[in-house]
Amino acid sequence: MIDKLLKTADSSHKDLTFEIGSNSDLVLENTITGNLEWTIEEFGKSSKGFITFPTKFDKVESLLALDHRGRTIIRMSVNPQRVIQKVELGTSSLTNRIKALNQMCEAGYRVGLLIAPVVLVDDWMAQYSELIDILSDELSKKTKKELFIEIIFMTYSFVHRAINNEALPNALELYDKTIMTGRGRGRYCYRDNAREPAEKFLREAILRKLGKIPILYVV
């Protein structure tokens, strides 16, 4: 697969970005396989293009000294700490994720911030305001200068709900029929009258606390 990516990247007339982390969290997986280290250095041999992956984990120590040659983009997924504790069970804390992103940026990696999934719990405004305050305080100056942001609102399904309720009976209930509506077969997303004010709030809070960091998209 890496040979195919290298060939495609080198033959393109422009830089392409390849998403390699859509099926699993590669930082966590790498603690067992070591595959991510090899992949980063192999793709670093390319003269064009980038590979990218998101993560919710802080286990980046083995990646810091790699010869990545600026060809890898790490996107750290963040949420309020209370959402992490109640929804993203077993993942790294918010503070440790921010620290890891700062380390990766200092090591020369391209860096992004993925605010996802945005979960509209009862006190979402206070929680996400606190999140952005923490990001403002704990992201390094270098990271803020080089950062881009992506924002993804939560989608949910009855299948996920059934699995989560059985496996994690004490976890936060994510489905809220008062602010969610159907989208596709068995999937639910936030209604526009809930999502649009939340997007406006996030954009304004980011601008106020983090400045004009590019927001690539909100979905």
Please classify residue 61 by burial: count the beta carbons closer than 10 Å to its beta carbon, then call 0-12 exposed, 13-18 middle and 19+ buried.
exposed
Tell me which CATH code domain 2-218 carries: 3.80.30.30
pTM of the model: 0.93
Q: How sure is the predictor about 212, in pLDDT bands with cuts at 50, 70 and 90?
A: very high
Mean per-residue pLDDT of the chain: 93
How many CB atoms lie under 10 A from the CB of residue 52?
16
Amino acid in position 188: Y
Q: Tell me: the pLDDT tens digits for 190-211?
A: 999 999 999 999 999 999 999 9
Please say whether the beta carbons of 52 and 72 come within 8 A: yes
Dihedral (Cα; 104, 106, 109, 110), 10-degree rounding: 100
**Per-residue pLDDT, 6:** 87
Q: Report CA torsion sign: 216, 51, 83, 79.
A: negative
**Per-residue pLDDT, 167:** 67
Domain boundaries defined on the chain: 2-218
Q: Tell me: the pLDDT tens digits for 138-154?
A: 999 999 999 999 999 99
Distance CA 71, CA 100 (A): 18
Encode burial over 102-135: b for 16+ CB neighbours within 10 A, e otherwise. Answer: bbbbeeebbbbbbbbbbbbbeebeebbbebbebb
Coil, strand or helix at 88? coil
